[in-house]
Structure 1
Amino acid sequence: MHVPDGFIDAPTSAVTGVVATGALAVSLRGARRELGGTSRDGGTSRASEAERGGERAAPLAGLVAAFIFAVQMLNFPVAAGTSGHLLGGALAAILVGPYTGVLCVSVVLLMQGVLFADGGLTALGVNITDMAIVTTVVSYAVFRALLAVLPRKRRSVTIASFVAALVSVPAAAVAFTLIYAIGGTTDVSLGKVATAMIGVHVLIGIGEAVITALTVSAVIAVRPDLVHGARGLRQRLTLRSPTPGSARAGGAPVGALVDAPASAALTAPVTARTSRRALWVTGLVTSLVLAGFVSFYASSNPDGLEKVAHDKGIDQKTEQHATAGSPLADYDVKDISDARLSGGLAGVIGVGVTVVAGSAVFWAVRRRTTPAPGASDSAVSPVNTGL
């Protein structure tokens, strides 16, 4: 859904640029809380579980951006002559938090626009507003609303992730239609544009939902303490005696049910065998394989916006990208004739640049935080959850 130069007029593009800038400023402040472990009460109390979780998850934020970049290269067919790709707002918001999620997707869009001529530079504000802000805000609101009514289990996080991602894509299509209604450069029936955009992006949303749910489920399976959306959940746990006939285990009667933080109790048994470094390396290797190899087999059909733009005539004033002549334009490395090698190398470079840029941003965000005095990140004793 990358909007090219020329779709939206200059005044509207400028306004969305201001909106995007303001949202990024707010996201930077919010990301400091999500990633840095800063206490909201002036540092007088012990760091909360969520804040400690943010400190543990901070190194993964750059990886999330790189993973989104890689998966966005994997266009999947959704209808005759149309393809779709991950937007990533829901995935980022659930894994690392909504504020950090906005920054993750924005980093991806910036790298794509500057290095790969994907998404217009004058339309960068439009793309950040639509693909980063709208998808993240809508998906996280839906995600939290569902968690409030679903059973407090791991499966509920996956289900809520699926629905939130599904809703976020047509929401972005609606947002684009509204922006086009205000500043579109061609005279096209908005009813037809809205119908076509929403219709095809509902189908794309299904793919987005599957990718998001599978990814969130995979991370929860090994390190649920690093999933922002799983923090704060409490679930009933059975505390079992380590020896037969013992009357108490962990300060509670055998078989007693107590409330415990899910992201603490559920993760203790798996943390020892799945370190953050191992998870980070696995995620990076997966991203490199997806972008460097699997992307060659992605659908070559135009994505939903490109297809609608061509069919409805809203691409009549599309302008050439300012970096169309760059060495990596269109995800190909200049002067390499082999298509497989050229595209794969461009994907690998993109993942590398994005993980470095994203990590630098989030490292800087953490550097600007002030840890709460007396904050503790002590390990939680393993508890048999019975799951």
Structure 2
Amino acid sequence: MHVPDGFINAPVSVGAGVVAAGAVAVSLRGARRELDERTAPLAGLVAAFIFAVQMLNFPVAAGTSGHLLGGALAAILVGPFTGVLCISVVLLMQGILFADGGLTALGVNITVMGVVTVVVAYALFRGLVKVLPRGRRAIAVASFVSALLSVPVAAAVFTAIYAVGGTTDVPVGKVLTAMVGVHTLIGIGEAVITMLTVGAVVAVRPDLVHGARGLTAPLKLRVGGELVDAPAVARPVPVAALSPRAVWATGLAGALVLAGFVSFYASASPDGLEKVAADKGIDKHVEEHAAKDSPLSDYGVRDIADARLSGGLAGVIGVGVTVVAGTGIFWSLRRRRTPDAEPTRVPEAV
């Protein structure tokens, strides 16, 4: 749903930029409460992983594809404030290096793909886990539903922005119906990816998942014929648990494989916004990207003729730049931990 230059007029683009800048400023302050020495590198990895998965367009209808937006995934894994920053870093890297998403529309993209998806998804996630029985199943269900609904809501917000500042005269009702319809289908893919990724991390280190903290079922002990919650000191860390460094290395390797190899097999069909724009005529005034001459524009390395090699190298470079930029930002925001502040990993009761 990367909005290009020319879809939204200058005054509304500037207004969206102000909203996005304010959200980023608030998130920079809020992320200080969410990040520490263990989770700051994970946040940089989340940004790189979202960048990689966004290269994997999947078919959703005849001639239409979709890709991960990532707001729900980022919010659940590293927290809502850090999640907004993760998506902002990804969009900035995509716009500057790969000419994906307009630079004058960066505020619109951050507002729609970052702020809206994160706020909607995390609010739904927290609401669901409060009413569902504690445990991994609740986390999976809440991840799926929150990710699914965040995408059509983001599509509706884009339509509202278009209604105020669109550069073409197209009935808003038609745009809204088309955008919400196709992005509901895209939301199913978003939900599956989010649920599987969150579930994989929860399975090995639930204490590293911001949204899952305190949600696993407590370990029970039988005392005097009655089941009682075990004290925290009686909850050992499983021997097979991955260290945060191992989780980071595994995630980075996965992101590199996805961006460097699997992306070659992604759907070449236009994504939901591109398809709606072409069908409804809201792309009549689209402008050339300011970074169209970038050596990495359109996710390929200039002067490399082999499409597989060119796209793969561009993906690997993108993952590398994003993880370095993201980790640097999040490391600078981290809280410094005291030695006795290391949390005990709590396994889920069977």
TM bin, normalised by shorter chain, reads over 0.9
**Code of the aligned partner of 2:12:** T
SS in 2 for 1:316: coil
Unaligned residue ranges in structure 2 (runs of 5+): none
Q: Deviation per CA, 1:39-81: give whole Å up to 9, x if none.
A: xxxxxxxxxxxxxxxx532220000000000000000000000
| Unmatched tracts of structure 1, length 5 or more | 37-54, 241-251
Deviations for 1:268-298, whole angstroms, at most 9, x for unmatched residues?
226x531111111100000000000000000
**Alignment counterpart, residue 166 of structure 1, candidates 111, 134, 148:** 148
Look up the equivalent residue of 2:170 and give its one-letter code. Answer: V
Are 2:205 and 2:241, in contact at CA under 8 Å, matched by a contact in 1? Answer: no
Q: In the TM superposition, what is the alpha-carbon distance from 1:260 to its structure 2 partner?
A: 6.2
Aligned length: 350
* Conserved? CA contact 1:238–1:385, under 8 Å: no
Q: State how far apart, in whole Å, the 2-side matches of 1:265 and 1:9 are.
A: 60
SS at match of 1:362: helix
**1:280 maps onto 2:242 in alignment:** no
Aligned residue for 1:69? 51
Closer, same or farther: CA 4–81 of 1 in aligned 2, 3 Å: same
Relative to 1, partners in 2 of residues 1:384 and 1:321: Cα closer, same or farther, differing over 3 Å?
closer
Within 1, Cα distance between the matches of 2:236 and 2:2? 38
Matched, 1:121 2:65: no
Q: For residue 370 of structure 1, report the CA deviation from its aligned partner.
A: 6.3
Matches within 5 A, 1:163-202: 163-202=145-184
User: 1:383 offset after TM fit, Å?
Assistant: 7.3
1:234 CA drift (Å):
5.8
- Cα 1:383/1:173, change in 2 over 3 Å: closer
SS in 1 for 2:304: coil
State TM-score, norm by structure 2.
0.95
In the superposition, relative to structure 1, how do residues 386 and 16 fare at CA in structure 2: closer, same or farther (>3 Å)? closer
Instruction: Tell me the distance in 2 between the aligned counterparts of 1:129 and 1:325.
Output: 26
Corresponding residue for residue 330 of structure 1:
298
Whether the 8 Å contact between 2:44 and 2:86 is mirrored in structure 1 is yes
C-alpha displacement of 1:154: 1.3
Closer, same or farther: CA 149–114 of 1 in aligned 2, 3 Å? same
Larger Cα-atom Rg: 1
1:95–1:227 contact (8 Å) kept in structure 2: yes
TM-score normalized by the length of structure 1: 0.86
Post-superposition Cα deviations, 1:7-59, rounded to whole Å, max 9, x if no partner, equal 000000000000000000000111000014xxxxxxxxxxxxxxxxxx53222
Correspondence for 1:377: 341
Q: Match of 2:241, as an amino acid?
A: R
Give the Cα–Cα distance (whole angstroms) in 2 for the partners of residues 384 and 186 of structure 1: 55
Counterpart CA distance in 1 for 2:92 and 2:121 is 21
User: Which residue of the other structure, out of 238, 243, 255, is the alignment partner of 1:269?
Assistant: 238
Shift of 1:258: 1.1
Q: Aligned pair in 2 of structure 1 residues 158, 265: CA closer, same or farther (>3 Å)?
A: farther
